[in-house]
Amino acid sequence: MNNRLKAALLLLIASALFYGASFIKLPAVDAAADSYFSESIKAAGIAYATTRGVNAVVSVVQESHIEVAPGGLGLSIAAGQVLDPINDMTERLSSMLVTAIASLGIQKLGYEIGEALSFKTIALLLLLAVPILWLGQASAPLMQLIFKLGLILLLLRFMLPLSAIVSDALYSGWLEPGIEEATTKLGIVSDRYDEMSSMAPEQNQGLFSSMTSGAADKVKRTKEALDTMVENADSIITSLLNLMTAYLAIFVVQVLLLPLAMLWVLVSIFRSNLLDSFAGQLTSRVAAG
């Protein structure tokens, strides 16, 4: 059989194999990556909901501090001193968590696109290489380009889930316990939001309205929420700081360090001419004859 026909047959077989492999998950690697993205996005969502719950409770108490104040001027001052820093920190943490969730979502989408399309694209490139074989010696540059693109896609197919595994090791081994502990502590305050959100607003109402049972219940619950935050102020602030630190670390590692490391690896491979050498050898063997 002519060498060119043999090469065409090999390309067709390789294309079919890569296409078939596109429907199969990589053992262990893909499962670990899927688990990491699902768990980390879920944890970030819970942390965001908890943080917003704390912020909501703080807002309700701050809006109601005038009604609580008749119990004593000192209570109003304490509310301002304790709640303003907490309110500011919850706002900042909420913005950071939105960024972290968006970053995780984009990475998950990129990973899923790579998982679905990398091998299919390689299969298509190999299929396109078949007619190029018949160009003879002129096919060498095109064949080399096809093989280089295929090798890059192959590297990316493995590097993206591997970066997720590295992130998972960082998350589960170092950050997850602190995130769960901080979220649980903040839950002491955020759990009160469901109770307080059902209270009708009593602001700007007259003296008789303020003496109703509903108003009294609101003052009682607001004071309980304030007492809880005053008693747990150190724990709340520490938990907010821990969450901010954890998700800042996640953001730096996932958005900066790992992508830069992957880029460095690819650039290093390009500079070492490994791709050119490997693609050149494949081209010379496939285009021989």
Residue 246 in this model has a pLDDT that exceeds 80: yes
Half-sphere exposure of 21 (CA within 13 A, CB side): 17
Q: List the domain range (segments joined by +) for residue 155.
A: 3-286
The predicted structure's pLDDT at residue 206? 46
pLDDT tens-digit series, residues 2-20: 677 877 888 899 999 999 9
Query: What pLDDT does residue 213 have?
Result: 55
Nearest to 50 by CA among 193, 171, 235, 237: 193
pLDDT at 73 over 60: no
Average pLDDT of span 112-125: 91
Q: How many other CB atoms sit within 10 Å of the CB of residue 199?
A: 16
Question: What does the pLDDT read at residue 18?
Answer: 92
Q: What is the pLDDT averaged over residues 195-205? A: 52
Q: Is 22 helix (H, G, I), strand (E, B) or coil?
A: coil
CA 262 to chain centre: 17
What local confidence, expressed as pLDDT, does residue 67 receive?
A: 46
Residues 6+ apart with CB under 8 A from 34: none
Q: What are 157-168's pLDDT values in tens digits? A: 888 788 888 888
Query: Counting beta carbons within 10 angstroms of the beta carbon of residue 263, is it exposed (0 to 12), middle (13 to 18) or buried (19 or more)?
Result: exposed
d(CA 26, CA 115): 9
pLDDT computed for residue 88 by the predictor:
87
How many angstroms from the chain centroid is the CA of residue 51?
17
Strand ranges, E, within 109-158? none
172 confidence band (pLDDT: 50, 70, 90): confident
Q: Is 191 strand, coil or helix? A: coil
Tokens of 220: 């009682």
Residue 72 binned pLDDT confidence (cut-offs 50, 70, 90)? very low
pLDDT in tens, 17-68: 999 998 888 877 888 888 888 888 888 898 898 888 888 888 777 766 444 4
Helix axes 73-132, 29-63, angle to 10 degrees: 150
Question: Do residues 18 and 123 touch, judged by C-beta distance below 8 A?
Answer: yes
Task: Using CA atoms of 223, 228, 233, 234 in order, give the dihedral in degrees to the nearest 10.
Answer: 160
* AA letter at 114: G
Calculate the CA dihedral of residues 9, 12, 15, 20 and round it to 10 degrees. Answer: -100
Residue scoring higher pLDDT (15 or 222): 15
Q: What is the pLDDT of residue 176?
A: 84
pLDDT tops 60 at residue 112: yes
Q: What is the pLDDT of residue 208?
A: 45
Domain count along the chain: 1
Chain-wide mean pLDDT for the chain? 77
Q: Which helix (H) or strand (E) is 134 found in, with range? A: none
pTM: 0.71
